[in-house]
Each structure stands twice: as C-alpha cells, then as structure tokens.
Structure 1
Amino acid sequence: MLTNRAVSLLKRSAFKRAAAIGAVALATASLQPVAAQAAPVPVVGGTPAAQNEFPFMVSLSMGCGGALYKKDVVLTAAHCVDGSGNTTRITATAGVTDLNASGAIKVKSTKVLQAPGYNGSGKDWALIKLARPINLPTLKLATNTRYNRGTFTIAGWGDTSENAGTGSTKLLKAKVPFVADRQCKRHYGSRLIAGQEICAGVPRGGVDTCQGDSGGPMFRKDDSGKWLQVGIVSWGDGCARPLVPGVYTEVSTFSSAIARAAATL
C-alpha cells in the first residue's frame, strides 16, 4: 500500500499493488506487458497454500496475479495493463503453488480488455484472453453485496513486507476481516470510492496483500461452501500497517460488466 500492489504507478497518493515499474504500453494493436521489478514473492503475514487448495489462482508475467474467470479468461486488475488490445506477450502460469514446479501450466495471452472508462481511479478490473483453455476450476464472482462481509481469504506471490524486493516463488495465503467504508475512510478519506471498492485488513496490521499481488482475488465461501470472489487486489498505503486496510475492487459492482466484456473475447 503506498502500493498499487504495481510498484511504481502512483494513483491517489498510493501505489497499486503490482510488481512492475511502468504502465503497459499499447502500440497499434499490440499490448506490451509491464517490465517486472523483482521476482514475485508472497502475501505479507501469510502461510503456504497447499497444492490444489486454490486451483483458480494465476500468476501473470508482468508481475500481477489473477483468477480464472473462464478456463480461457483471467480476471485481474486494470492497473496491471494499459488499455485494450491484442497481445501474445503475457504468460499466465497456473496449476502450481511453486511457480518453478515442473507441473506448471503456462499459456500465452491473445488479448486484453481493460475496464471501459478506467482512468486510474476505480473500475480496477481487466480480462486477459488466453491462447487455450486451462483445465482447472474457475472462480465464481459475487453478483450482489450479500457476501461482502465477514472474513476473506487472500493469496498471492507478492512481497512479504513493504518494499521487500526479496524472491520467493511460493504461493502464500492469509485471512483478513471486512472493514466498513466508514472506518476505512478514517484513513483514506475521499480517496476511497465507496460502491466501487471494498476494504479489508487486520486492525493491528501484519497481514495484507502487497506489491506483486495486484489483480489477485479476495474470496470467501458462499452458503454452499464454494469459493466466491468478492474483491480484486487493488491498492493501499504501504503494506500491513496498523489501522490501514487494503483496498480491493468490489466485484459485485462490476460482475455484470465483467460478464458482458468476457462474452466479447
């Protein structure tokens, strides 16, 4: 957080949370990926995820995370890309918790669709079309605010501490409680876009997403015991600071737009 959970894209006095140095450049019809600043490393305060525990998790080669929305479409953050267009330069890695494992599934992208109207504030979602389907479970999206409370799970390959820059290929997981807009605004004020963003974090600090986690899902179980995505890792001030929640794209706000966009890919 002073992180876009993308290292150097300064938005609303906070960095987005992707491990990258610049924005993605769109030239003609070819989308260029962000240059990586450091090898991805895991969630702050997390513990190792078991193999196949979160089979929908995806690591993206520009230093972001994501989740399988369809078997050939990854949902990630808009700030991880810059515009919409065709590209084969992004590689999605799935099927493993260790990115160096021999069983890793690697698939190139064919197209990126950034949220229409995205300008660096709110609407922080994007879709990446893959060259072929990945035969793994997808992650269902919340379509209303019913599940936007309680305790959420976060997982990713992002930094283990603020500006850590250390390398690890292991997927870590953690749990963070919902933080109401009113409480979240005590720190962020008007920078928080209520209705488009949802906050979560441990009051004492020590557990959070961080650089390199951008675009990854925040999720929980629904009433039937199935995983449901309620947020997309977006931004915040620093990482895991006391009384400073993480800010996530509120998936339920955009679920219909995401479905319409995915149908065009």
Structure 2
Amino acid sequence: MDAHRFATRCRTTTCESGLLVNLDLCSNPETLSWRQYNGTRFVYEEISRDVCTTNDDEMGVTALCCRENSSEGIHTTAYGAEYSEFPFMALLNVGGQCGGVVYNKRYILTAAHCVVDRKSGEIKDSTDFKVKLGRNVGSIVSPENDYGVEAVLVYPNYSRLKNGPSFPLGISYNDIALLKLSRDIEFGPRIKTLQIAPEGFDEMRYADQAVIVGWGATDANDVSENMQKANVILRKDVSCFLSNPGKLTPWRWYEEFYQGLLCVGGVMDGKFSPVAGQGDSGGPAICRGADGSGILCGITSFGADDEECTNNIDEVSCRPSVYTEIDYFHDWIEKTAGKQDTKNFHKKQLYGEVVQSSNYEHQVHITSKEGKSCGGTLISPNTAVTAAQCVANADENGVVKMYSDVQVTLRLQGLKVKTMGVSSISILDGFQRVGNPVDIEAQGFRVLKTDNLYRNDLAVIRLNGIVSLHSCKFAQLPRKGEYAETPAIELSFPRDGKYGVDLRAREFNISTQAECQRRIDRLAKIGIHMEFDDKVLCGVERYSGGSTCDRELGGGLICKGKNGKDTLCGVQIYRMCEWAGPNGFVDVAQHTDWIVNAAKQSDLYKKYFVDTLLYSYCSNRDRG
C-alpha cells in the first residue's frame, strides 16, 4: 500500500508461544530476521502485537517490528489489517511478489503483468510459483496452506502478451489472469472466496469509496509483511485517464481504452486517499454490493511513481491507481474457471449493515439547536445515554455550555418515528475538551480530519415521557469493572440520515489500552498528538479500510452480556477520518454507578426504572 513512502521495512516476528508475551520479540534475533543496510544493522521497536496460532495449533503471539525512531510504522500500524480480516487474500510468489484473490476451490484471480514477462511477453514458467493462503496479520502460514500452480491462464487480449493484439507501446490493458492451483483449496474460517462483481456492475452506486488490501511496498523492492488496508475514493471518470499537458505519464494512451479500467485514490477535489504500491499488483479493490456486502470490483493493475506526489500534494502530481474492472471480464472468468460456490463466500457487510427497525430499538437519534446530531442508547423507558458533546459544548478549561432544544427521536417497528422532549440532562463531572479544536496540517502532508477529543465525554438524558418498549428491548449496563468483549457492534446513524431511522451496525475489534496508544503514538511523527485515558476503549473497525466519518457520534458500542442481552459497553466519542486509526469509546463499565444515580434523579424513576432492569435475564422469545 503506497501511503507516501513511510511503511517500508517493517517486519512481523515468527509466531511464538504465549509464554513469551512479556519478552521484547523485536530485539530477539531468533524471532526476527535482522537486516543490514550499507553495513549497518537496524534496531527494531515493537509497534503492535497480535494473537496467532503456531504450527502445533497452540495460541501464541507475534509482534510487528519497525526501525527504531523511524516513520516507517506510521502507515503499517494506521492501515494495518486486523487478524483474519480478509480471508480471501492470496500472497503470490511468481518470480516476484503479487497479491491475488481466491475465486473458487481451484482458481486465484490476479493481474496478468504478474505472470507475464515484461520484456519478452511470454507467460512465465509456473514450476516454482507458490500461492500462500490464510496469511493475515498475526497468522503463520503452515505448509498445508501453500499451493503450487498447475496452469497460468492469461486473458487472450492482454496488451503485453506476445503475439497478442496490437496496442500502443507500454500500455497495460486487459490486465487480468487466473492461476489454476495444483490441488483443491481447503476452506475454513481463515480461507474464503470473494464474490466477483456481476456483469454491468456500477461500482459507485452503493458507495463512493472502496477498500484496497495488500502487502505492497512504498520503497523499491521492499515489501511489508504486515497486510495493509485503506479506504480509497472511487473515480469512474474519463478524466482520470487523460494525460497531463507537457508531462509524460503512464496515462498518456488511456483515454482511448478506459473501458474495463477502474480508477481509485490519489487527489481529487482536494481530497487525498492512498494508492497501490509495488507488491500490491493483483490484489483487490472491494466495493459495496447491492446487498451491502463486499464484492471484488477491481484487480490492481498500475499506478504512477508517488515521489512527485510526496512533494506536491495536488491533483496533477498525485495520480490515482488504475485497477482492472472485474465486471468487464465477468464472462471470461466464469467460462475459464467455472462458477463460484456461494457457500464459501466471505459475506460481510462493507461500511456497515443497515439495521432493521425491529433490531436495536434502544438506539435513538439526538438533535439540538446548536450542536451536531448524534446517536444515543435507551437503558430504561425514560433514560438514554450518549456523549456529552452531543448535548453540550466544553472548552479546554472545562467551561460547559448546554445546548438548547434537545430532542430525541425513537426508532420503532415499521419504520415509524417518534420525537420526544427532554426533562433534564446530567453531564459527567470533568467534561472538557482535550487540547485546541482540531485543525491539523501534518508537516505539509495534507490536512487530516479528526473529531475533537473530550475527557469524561458522557451524558444521561431523561425524557419527558415514557418509551413503550418491552423491558428486554432496552440495553443493559455492564457491571462495574466488566471487560468489553471483542468483537463488538458499533451502532451509528449516517450523517444526514433520514429522521434517525437509517441505522447501521459495524463490527469492531476492541484493543488493549497499550495497543491503542501504540497506534496513536506512531501518528505523532506527522503532527497528530493525542492520548486516550484509561476510561476510553479503543476500537478498530473490521472489514473496512479503516475509520470513516460518514456517521454520527454518541451511538452505542454493544457487547453481549453473560445473559445474552445487549450490553452498552461503550459510547462513541472520537474517530480519525481518512485514516485507519482507532475510534474512541467511553468505557461505560467504569461509569455504571454514575449512570444509575443520574437516572434516579428523574421524577419517573420509581415507577419505571428499577436496578434489576440493568442486569435482567430475557429469553429469546422476550427479545423477539
């Protein structure tokens, strides 16, 4: 992943027994292959740790190591993929490194230029080709996950194929190929297929961005062993392929051949998103499909050198990456490799699943006259929990000003909505903004968007009426000191959502405090200085390119309690837009007593709010 030439020499240690969890794996030559450059041995520092499974099927740990005091770990940690997040990814050794995507039990999709000799135009000898599956962050590839290649099938009209059709010199077009493996793939939780886009698929119909994934480098011939991911802007526009006047660019011929090509990333309308790098070739662009799940819409084909973009963040210098458009080749893929088996699909919602009105009815939409709209969570018939910043403003000195005309909109079955007023609001003591209002320009890199960070960012809203829901429909509070389970479900309304009805659910991994701070500390090197305290949970969104700011704050992070009931383990208070940085959630378990006491201040408390409701058992029938 080409993220401006930072993540270049990071390495993952071997999977070691969990007994070594307290050791510095990055300083142990037995767990890390030390490298020298110009006669100097690099010293590595630990950036993150992940759970892994050894070849003996024992649980262990692995560490991500980057050069000490360097900027190399910034993007590897910021864009790092989660454990087994993309189980359809294939790492190809084909006389050089490329990515690939599992198509069915016998075939891998990749780029033609990965398997065709650039000079001769001949298809490479596949005798020594290796395909590695199940290789994600924190996992170790065992021998049974290595596959040989029986045949290489290149699209007949690939522009650089010897004796193929005539194309302008140097053009890379129809850049797609299939590898037939020497044996059937053994599918499981770590190895799945990815559904390909149907013929005529409109990549931008269901989302204006896509996710790109790979092990690619940002420096020549130096790849990352840590799988990276990023959200990129989709650019299905002819202007993407036009040549720049006076500049010799790889796009000089493409205005005649843009059909079958998909443009992503770079700078457009002043907004930057990452591009593919060396080693990412053949890997996927994942788009949101008609049912909300991710589908394969592109294969990495080519891009421009980013050196000029590093120095000049503008649309002329920062050219996008170009992907082979999958739907254009749908018929050839099926005729060559057969159909896909739906039972092996990795069917996960991309950018959140739209929640039916009968589910998570405890989520509410909060508006005010002065503040931004937010989400919130009902814990009783007349009490909701949200972020304090949703109902009040606070400066760095802790001076708080309440917003006026706060209203709460309910989601009811049948897409009905009901708006209620507020009788009173309690703000957690010590609510204040941490630092100045966010407006970061990172050393000329680009302007980065984040939310303002607040301390003790929690509020309890007492409604002026009663919500008519079964007691099992309300979210329960965690017991004091209860640990938030992972993964958890983040619930949020999209910005400008329709009357608070359009709720989305996304899966988040909950990181340890140390892991969270490691990720954030790396970003200090490019101007982002922040620190979550020990009352904030750190979450990383799964099956996405990272955090996005297309949803509102204040919504609930829902875990399952021991009784199976929805438990409000977090309230979302912070996101870092454009980057795959962690999201911040108030750790509700540390404030359970305060929330209960705040709810008791309601005149309706004695009638409608009892302590046992917080931890009550509900059967599946009751939750219906």
The 5-angstrom pairing of residues 65-76 of structure 1 reads 65-76=99-110
> Which among 257, 260, 263 is matched to residue 335 of structure 2?
260
**Structure 2 CA distance for aligned equivalents of residues 215 and 125 of structure 1:** 8
Shift of 1:183: 2.7
Supply the AA of the counterpart residue of 1:122: Y
Unpaired stretches in structure 2, ≥5 consecutive residues = 2-71, 117-121, 161-171, 244-250, 340-624
**Structure 2 CA distance for aligned equivalents of residues 108 and 182 of structure 1:** 39
Choose between structure 1 and 2 for higher RCO, CA contacts under 8 A separated by at least 6 residues: 1
Pair 257,182 (structure 1): closer, same or farther in 2 beyond 3 Å: same
Pair 223,196 (structure 1): closer, same or farther in 2 beyond 3 Å: closer
> Which among 158, 164, 179 is matched to residue 128 of structure 1?
179
Shift of 1:99: 8.8
**Structure 2 CA distance for aligned equivalents of residues 156 and 124 of structure 1:** 17
Confirm or deny: 8 A CA contact 2:260 2:325 kept in the other structure: yes
Unpaired stretches in structure 1, ≥5 consecutive residues = 2-40
Confirm or deny: 8 A CA contact 1:100 1:169 kept in the other structure: no
Pair 50,124 (structure 1): closer, same or farther in 2 beyond 3 Å: same
The 5-angstrom pairing of residues 165-204 of structure 1 reads 165-187=221-243, 188-192=251-255, 193-203=257-267, 204=271
Confirm or deny: 8 A CA contact 1:209 1:239 kept in the other structure: no
The 5-angstrom pairing of residues 110-259 of structure 1 reads 110-120=150-160, 121-134=172-185, 135=187, 136-149=191-204, 150-159=208-217, 161=218, 163-187=219-243, 188-192=251-255, 193-203=257-267, 204-205=271-272, 207-239=274-306, 241=309, 242-243=314-315, 244-259=319-334
Shift of 1:146: 3.3
Supply the AA of the counterpart residue of 1:195: Q
**Structure 2 CA distance for aligned equivalents of residues 98 and 201 of structure 1:** 24
Confirm or deny: 8 A CA contact 1:197 1:250 kept in the other structure: yes
Confirm or deny: 8 A CA contact 1:110 1:130 kept in the other structure: yes
**Structure 1 CA distance for aligned equivalents of residues 296 and 286 of structure 2:** 4
Confirm or deny: 8 A CA contact 2:201 2:327 kept in the other structure: no
Shift of 1:166: 3.3
**Structure 1 CA distance for aligned equivalents of residues 179 and 138 of structure 2:** 19
**TM-score, normalization by structure 1:** 0.74
For 1:146, what is the secondary structure of its paired residue? coil
Q: Deviations over 1:40-60 (max 9, x none)?
A: x99x78611112211100000
Shift of 1:153: 0.5
Supply the AA of the counterpart residue of 1:92: V
Percent sequence identity is 32
Shift of 1:168: 2.7
Confirm or deny: 8 A CA contact 1:67 1:139 kept in the other structure: yes
Q: Max radius of gyration: which structure? A: 2
**Structure 1 CA distance for aligned equivalents of residues 223 and 259 of structure 2:** 35
For 2:175, what is the secondary structure of its paired residue? coil
**Structure 1 CA distance for aligned equivalents of residues 334 and 124 of structure 2:** 18
Query: What is aligned with 2:146?
Result: 106
Q: Confirm or deny that 1:49 pairs with 2:81.
A: yes
Confirm or deny: 8 A CA contact 1:230 1:252 kept in the other structure: yes
Supply the AA of the counterpart residue of 2:92: L
Shift of 1:129: 0.7
Query: What is aligned with 1:93?
Result: 132
Pair 122,99 (structure 1): closer, same or farther in 2 beyond 3 Å: farther
Confirm or deny: 8 A CA contact 2:83 2:139 kept in the other structure: no
Shift of 1:90: 0.8
Pair 246,128 (structure 1): closer, same or farther in 2 beyond 3 Å: same
Pair 102,67 (structure 1): closer, same or farther in 2 beyond 3 Å: closer
Shift of 1:206: 5.7
**Structure 2 CA distance for aligned equivalents of residues 89 and 258 of structure 1:** 24
Confirm or deny: 8 A CA contact 1:143 1:256 kept in the other structure: no
Confirm or deny: 8 A CA contact 1:86 1:110 kept in the other structure: no
Shift of 1:100: 7.3
Shift of 1:252: 0.8
Confirm or deny: 8 A CA contact 1:69 1:75 kept in the other structure: yes
